[in-house]
Amino acid sequence: MSKKWTKEAIASTIDHTILKATAQPYQVEQLCKEALEYKFASVCVNPCYTKLVSEKLKGSGVGTCVVVGFPLGANTTEIKAAETRQAVEQGADEIDMVINIGMLKAHEDDYVERDIRAVVEAAGKACVKVILENCYLTDDEKTRACLLSEKAGAPYVKTSTGMGPSGATIEDIQLMEHILPTHKIKAAGGIRDLETAIKMLEAGADRIGASASIALVESVGEKEREESYRNSNR
């Protein structure tokens, strides 16, 4: 394992996530406690929990990340913008929005760009991550989605919602990095072990979306102990 991937380094890349329909307030509160303990990058939740999370994390340095147009991306642009404004008003630091996948596939690029731009403008100073949902896209569509996100002013692109038939892949991270070398990338969906997380980060991801965050971080500690034991017995 590369020395740079300490527990702290891995934790600082993770959006500690709970987006299930069954998520309850006590579970969201527990997620916040864990995020504060491990110093994750953010806690990522559905919009109804924005205020709860922002209050629990206030002044901690752990961000409040809220999904918009989730998980299908098929809301109208006006609704996505309104959802974004409300989330920011309630304390969101980051917005993870889903593009209109159908419009992208129909080559309605102007629509897709306007849709993203409306969220970026509504977000103000909050960081917008554009979810492409790559499992439904061809490489050409992924390329267009990345470039439209750039034109619309979004600083981040994200692989997946985690709700589709598949999630992040190394190939997608490499493609997104190639298309937008100056942008940041979030890998999400199916990242449940340390090895996969590190591969994503070394392929070009800046952020990891995960619900198995604690297991990932604790795995770093286990590897560090194994390496220390091997070194002491040489």
Q: What CATH number did the domain enclosing 187 receive? A: 3.20.20.70
In a domain? residue 184: yes
Which residues span the domain enclosing 228? 7-232
Reported in sequence order, the residue ranges of 141-218 that DSSP labels E, i.e. its strands, are 156-158, 184-188, 207-210
Tell me if 80 sits within 8 A of 99, measured CB to CB. no
**Angle CA 96–187–14, to nearest 5:** 80
Q: Tell the burial category of 89 from Cβ atoms under 10 Å away from its Cβ (0-12, 13-18, 19+).
A: exposed
- Domain-embedded: residue 212: yes
Does residue 204 lie within any of the structural domains? yes
Q: Does residue 2 sit within a domain?
A: no
In this structure, is residue 1 part of a structural domain? no
> Is 95 inside any structural domain?
yes
**Is the predicted pLDDT of residue 177 greater than 90, yes or no?**
yes
The verdict on residue 121 lying in a domain is yes
Q: What is the pTM of this model?
A: 0.93
- In 125-164, which positions are buried (b, 16+ CB within 10 angstroms) versus exposed (e)? ebbbbbbbbbbbbeeebbbbbbebbbebebebbbbbbbbb
Per-residue model confidence as pLDDT tens digits over 185-233? 999 999 999 999 999 999 999 999 999 999 999 998 665 555 554 555 5
pLDDT at 233: 53
pLDDT at 53 over 60: yes
- Whether residue 129 is predicted with pLDDT greater than 90 in this model: the reply is yes
Total structural domains in the chain? Answer: 1
Q: Which residues are catalytic?
A: 96, 158, 186
